[in-house]
Copies of this chain bind each other. A is one copy, B any other.
Amino acid sequence: MKIVHNTETQDDPLSLEELANINAYWRAANYLSVGQIYLLDNPLLKKPLKLKHIKPRLLGHWGTTPGLNFIYVHFNRVIKRQKLNVMNITGPGHGGPGIVANAFLEGTYSEVYPNISQDEVGIKNLFKQFSFPGGIPSHCSPDTPGSIHEGGELGYSVSHAYGAVFDNPDLIACCVVGDGEAETGPLATAWHSNKFLNPIKDGAVLPVLHLNGYKIASPTILARISHDELEKLFVGYGYKPYFIEGSDPEMMHQRMAAVLDSAIAEIKAIQHEARIKGVTERPIWPMIILRTPKGWTGPKEVDGHKAEGSWRSHQVPLSEMATKPEHVALLETWMKSYKPEELFDENGTLINELTALAPTGIARMSANLHANGGLLLKSLQLPDFRKYAVEVPAPGQVLAEATRVMGCLLRDVMTLNYEAQNFRVMGPDETNSNRLGALFEVTNRAWMASKLPEDDHLAADGRVMEILSEHTCQGWLEGYLLTGRHGFFSCYEAFIHIVDSMFNQHAKWLKVSREIPWRQPIASLNYLLTSHVWRQDHNGFSHQDPGFIDHVLNKKATMIRVYLPPDANTLLAITDQCLRSKDLINVIVAGKQSQPQWLDMSSAIKHCTAGIGIWSWASNDHNDEPDVVMACAGDTPTIETLAAVDLLRQHVPDIKIRVINVVNLMTLLPSEEHSQGLSDKDYDSLFTTNKPIIFAYHGYPWLIHRLSYRRTNHKNLHVHGYKEEGTTTTPFDMVVLNELDRFHLMANVVDRVPRLTQSGAYIKQYIRDKLIEHRLYITAHGKDMPEITDWKWPSRPYNNSDNE
């Protein structure tokens, strides 16, 4: 391979002794990695290797591991030499054995898992647990000390790394990117994160693109374009790439040491200059492109085929141990090539000369405090959310834009925590559009690229992060939260599906982390989903989908909260709850439009604390059985339900209606499944055991059935929701097309309340007439009828009302 020497690096910075030691440490990590993949017993190969010492099922990924170990030992060197604060983020997901081996060599592993002691017994246990039932997975996971990055689905290492260093000015993230991972979309755009990194207030990411040539069987793109293209690509992404290419360990160690010295010096120089002179222009940060053979130092050839440097090294280069005894011998030769007897003493403890190479205490990458962010977490300073309350003298009499009100709360959260620098808001260019613009009274959009006079609220130290990549927003926020900070992600509802699988992985990380005693709780991941499915004013039928809630509810309910606040005051109360919570994923769905406000602040707090409740001011079944329960969840369904109640009470004065609003969807789950779920008794007392329930729900109607199917009165539950109808049209027509509107709700009540089915003919005719009138009106005028847009909940309802 062609070696490109960057003239700025010093030649051969390592003395012969340093070189020998670094190489020995690398051999130790490689030895422990191979051992994890293969061995059940005989961990130091003190006895001749036999089939019985080898695991019955060989699982793991060797290919990427020696390169990861190589990078790790060199970072150890610079951490120690320059007293750096470095955390490690390993993109090549299945390189777990390497990262675990290094945590073990540093002693951290034994500190958190005392049974994996730094001796022969410990090594045996270390080997056995790997990819073994009841043990650890073959990739980095929450149980790996020093990791914040799951090695499952690929693509998020770079955004995690940037998220981790935002507001951590002394932190450097060593971010290894695999060349397979580099083909994913999320990774391909995350390189641009450097346009958002402030050299004064943020730390630095030092990406190491690790080219080893193959995915599973196909070559990787970046390993197979010309050197010139590869270099230009990363210059184009805004980096200064250093190339390290080859397979001779001695040369590679010298080159890596020289490049790392230069890269760290450049990072320090950039930061120093900015911190003295202020931010003048976007710096060009260094990065490293490391090209090594896949399965480096592994068997050169297996069964007559090339192994090292080929796709055949991707997973387990030697297998079929039971049927091919020569493979056992080959494995023994391979492992002995690392000379374990020179690396570990008689007890199986790493020899002192090598132990001395690793940093100590929290300088170890495996013990970096930021990688167990809960240790560093400071609670947010929160203002009293009640002070942002919308005055609601009576239900439905004033209008407000709920998210705009919430924006004021977020603004003051930003201010109160400005000194702590531990709160950021992410979104794909929708902060203003989602009416959270009050944030810009106290901060700006983070922006390090060039600016023009007409630009709106851009600054190097902005704390609102906007990039048209939901993946990057989510990745940054995950990295930020996992390192012990707080944040908020606002997104159009339909587009949040873009991060479905990222959400999965974070939810699973949280679930596993909770079960690991040494992992401390972190701040919750908070989503605000707005511009929701009920507003299609100029969209066609193209991407609308309220199904993120369904997706979220497939995860372990203990980690999940879904809130549908119907107005501004409930949104404030819920936002406060979310910002205080830990280790959860909170999903808030709320519209940004001007809408009627229902609850004053004290009612809102009561309602949000319960999560569900009867709205007695809208009901008239007091001290009596209702004829029908009208339930609603979501802002638009709440309006339509109340409008239907109003119409019904005008047209059928003696009907007894109970109105229930659900703000916390988890309350509908059985109490055995969720701590916030209603007991059957409480559920029955709300929903009755035998009356019809007309439930107007924000999303896909079957979700409410899925939450309720075990409840007594499920057979009488009739849910209206989004059923994939509606293209460009008015807000009210959207609900009509999906039969969630007041008229369809009313019609369903007439159908379900036995004593109305006969007498209801005139109401049904009224409803039909109204729907025709609506259709004619919007077709002619392009907007909703005044009787719809001007409708208000009556301020002094009904002469015959019994609820006053």
Copies in the complex: 2
Contact B456 A217 (CB under 8 A): yes
Contact A539 B224 (CB under 8 A): no
Total A residues in contact with B, Cβ cutoff 8 Å? 129
Expressed in whole angstroms, the Cα–Cα distance for A231 and B233 within the complex equals 9
Contact B136 A542 (CB under 8 A): no
Which stretch of A107-115, A149-157, A244-252, A581-589 is in the interface?
A: A149-157
Most buried by B among A430, A456, A538, A730: A538
Contact A724 B511 (CB under 8 A): yes
Our pick among B56, B183, B455, B471 for the contact of A467 (Cβ within 8 Å) is: B183
Q: Tell me which residues across on chain B come within 8 A of A94, comparing CB atoms.
A: 538
Q: Tell me which residues across on chain B come within 8 A of A544, comparing CB atoms.
A: 508
Q: Give the contacts of A183-215 with B (CB-CB under 8 A).
A: 183-190, 192, 195, 213, 215
Expressed in whole angstroms, the Cα–Cα distance for A512 and B540 within the complex equals 10
Our pick among B309, B429, B450, B540 for the contact of A137 (Cβ within 8 Å) is: B540
Expressed in whole angstroms, the Cα–Cα distance for A649 and B456 within the complex equals 74
Q: Tell me which residues across on chain B come within 8 A of A306, comparing CB atoms.
A: 454
Known: A512-B541, A542-B139. A471 touches B185 (CB 8 A): yes
Contact A236 B235 (CB under 8 A): yes
Which of chain B's residues has its CB closest to A59's CB?
B538
Q: Tell me which residues across on chain B come within 8 A of A702, comparing CB atoms.
A: 706, 709
A153-164 CB mask vs B (1 if < 8 Å, else 0) is 111000000000
Contact A724 B556 (CB under 8 A): yes
Contact A728 B135 (CB under 8 A): yes
Which of chain B's residues has its CB closest to A783's CB?
B56
Q: Is A311 an interface position by the 8 A CB rule?
A: yes
Contact B782 A132 (CB under 8 A): yes
Q: Give the contacts of A242-295 with B (CB-CB under 8 A).
A: none
Expressed in whole angstroms, the Cα–Cα distance for A495 and B137 within the complex equals 18
Q: Give the contacts of A501-547 with B (CB-CB under 8 A).
A: 501, 504-505, 508-509, 511-512, 537-545, 547
Chain B min CB distance to A105 (Å): 22
Q: Tell me which residues across on chain B come within 8 A of A431, comparing CB atoms.
A: 217
Q: Tell me which residues across on chain B come within 8 A of A428, comparing CB atoms.
A: 215
Q: Is A733 an interface position by the 8 A CB rule?
A: yes
Which of chain B's residues has its CB closest to A294's CB?
B454
Contact A545 B539 (CB under 8 A): no
Q: Is A575 an interface position by the 8 A CB rule?
A: no
Known: A153-B498, A779-B133, A783-B57. A455 touches B235 (CB 8 A): no
Q: Tell me which residues across on chain B come within 8 A of A543, comparing CB atoms.
A: 150, 152-153, 501, 504-505, 508
Q: Tell me which residues across on chain B come within 8 A of A237, comparing CB atoms.
A: 229, 233, 236
Our pick among B154, B236, B537, B706 for the contact of A705 (Cβ within 8 Å) is: B706
Q: Tell me which residues across on chain B come within 8 A of A778, comparing CB atoms.
A: 133-134
Expressed in whole angstroms, the Cα–Cα distance for A286 and B329 within the complex equals 54
Our pick among B184, B225, B727, B779 for the contact of A189 (Cβ within 8 Å) is: B184
A354-391 CB mask vs B (1 if < 8 Å, else 0) is 00000000000000000000000000000000000000
Contact B724 A714 (CB under 8 A): no
Q: Is A494 an interface position by the 8 A CB rule?
A: yes
Chain B min CB distance to A670 (Å): 12
Q: Tell me which residues across on chain B come within 8 A of A192, comparing CB atoms.
A: 183, 188, 221
Contact A221 B233 (CB under 8 A): no
Q: Give the contacts of A715-755 with B (CB-CB under 8 A).
A: 724, 727-730, 733
Contact B185 A542 (CB under 8 A): no
Most buried by B among A137, A467, A556: A137
Contact B542 A224 (CB under 8 A): no
Expressed in whole angstroms, the Cα–Cα distance for A533 and B505 within the complex equals 14
Known: A134-B778, A550-B554. A541 touches B311 (CB 8 A): no
Q: Tell me which residues across on chain B come within 8 A of A217, comparing CB atoms.
A: 429, 431-433, 456, 466
Q: Tell me which residues across on chain B come within 8 A of A783, comparing CB atoms.
A: 56-57
Expressed in whole angstroms, the Cα–Cα distance for A150 and B539 within the complex equals 11
Q: Is A16 an interface position by the 8 A CB rule?
A: no
Contact B540 A136 (CB under 8 A): yes
Q: Is A321 an interface position by the 8 A CB rule?
A: no
Expressed in whole angstroms, the Cα–Cα distance for A116 and B128 within the complex equals 73
Chain B min CB distance to A60 (Å): 6
Chain B min CB distance to A240 (Å): 12
Expressed in whole angstroms, the Cα–Cα distance for A509 and B724 within the complex equals 12
Q: Is A230 an interface position by the 8 A CB rule?
A: yes
Q: Is A65 an interface position by the 8 A CB rule?
A: no
Contact A537 B57 (CB under 8 A): yes
Q: Is A447 an interface position by the 8 A CB rule?
A: yes
A444-482 CB mask vs B (1 if < 8 Å, else 0) is 010101111011101000000011110110000000000
Most buried by B among A150, A220, A505: A505
Contact B468 A181 (CB under 8 A): yes
Contact B225 A456 (CB under 8 A): no
Which of chain B's residues has its CB closest to A545's CB?
B504
Smallest CB-CB A-B distances: 7 pairs: A233-B236, A137-B540, A152-B542, A185-B185, A59-B538, A224-B449, A188-B189
- Using A137-B540, A218-B429 as known contacts, list a sample of 5 further A-B pairs with CB atoms less than 8 Å apart, ordered by residue number in A: A134-B779, A137-B728, A215-B466, A218-B445, A221-B467
16 chain-A/chain-B pairs, Cβ below 8 angstroms? A56-B781, A128-B782, A137-B727, A141-B542, A185-B471, A217-B466, A218-B447, A219-B458, A220-B468, A224-B450, A225-B449, A229-B238, A309-B454, A495-B501, A501-B545, A508-B543
